[in-house]
Amino acid sequence: MTNPARPCPICSELASTKLPQYSRDGWSVEQCDACAHVYLKNPPGYGALVEDFAWEKTYVDEHQRRLKESPVVYRLDVATRIRHTAFRKSMEDKWRAWFGSGAVLDIGCANSGNDYNGFTPYGIEISKELAVEADRNMRAAGGFCIFGPGAEAIWKFDAAMFDGIVMSSYLEHEEEPLKVLQGAARALKPGGRIYVRVPNFGCLSRKVTGQKWCGFRWPDHVNYFTTADLGRIAGKAGLKVQLLNPVRLPFDDNINALLAHKD
């Protein structure tokens, strides 16, 4: 069931202005009249994300849509991501650099097929099928996965439990991102850090390609963050932001950042 009166997920303002150039198929992308955050006004709801719009169920259709609408741009985007991935550190190496070792919570963990050498892994996953698989993988490494919405499941963990929390390609899907960040701040140990990766609504590519920008995905992307948005919502949760890609940010389709407790 959609929510036609969803307030701004950052400032809770109800008044917003529709952006028809970014809306499609009945999904209304709007801009908050108070803080200018762009978000989906009528998201499908958690139940629909589980049953109808789970990533593993819609990935193939989304791939075909992008390939049909913008074949050259989409192929270049895929090729660029493959090249960048080939020379990047593994996710486990990044975790060691960011968190050291210990307990790590991956929110939106999918089936969680990572190598958890040096970590005790925990997860939250809204897809029932993927959560079952992730739980099996994580239990083999000493942790477990909770099935359910992140904004609810995060509060089931103990306070100050995690050395690190991962939100990679997750917050853009979450209807209640502030509640998740508040829960994450509670569950994070003093000195711990939260990794966040979200599409960069402020990037040049979005301004040039418009509705064809790779960061748009209807209806499961329900928040479109700029760095200012991320700073505001993190601050409300008692967190500060350290950008990991500040130099290339204007040209990067994603924001990569580490969040930590305010001093």
Instruction: Give 87's pLDDT tier (boundaries 50, 70, 90).
Output: very low
Q: What is the pLDDT of residue 85?
A: 46
Evaluate the CA torsion angle 151, 89, 243, 206 in order and state its sign: negative
Q: What is the pLDDT of residues 142-189, one digit of tens each?
A: 999 999 999 999 999 999 999 999 999 999 999 999 999 999 999 999
Please state whether the predicted TM-score (pTM) of the whole model is above 0.85.
yes
In the prediction, which pLDDT does 84 show? 47
CA distance 206 to 203: 6
Average pLDDT over residues 45-63: 62
Between 165 and 91, where is the model more confident? 165
**Domains of the chain and CATH, by start:** 16-261 (3.40.50.150)
Residue range 233-247, pLDDT digits in tens: 999 999 999 999 999
Compute the chain's Rg from CA coordinates. 18
Please, are residues 116 and 141 in contact by the beta-carbon 8 Å criterion? yes
Please say if the pLDDT value at position 55 is more than 90. no
> Which residues face 198 on adjacent strands?
255
Q: What residues are paired with 16 via a beta bridge?
A: 32
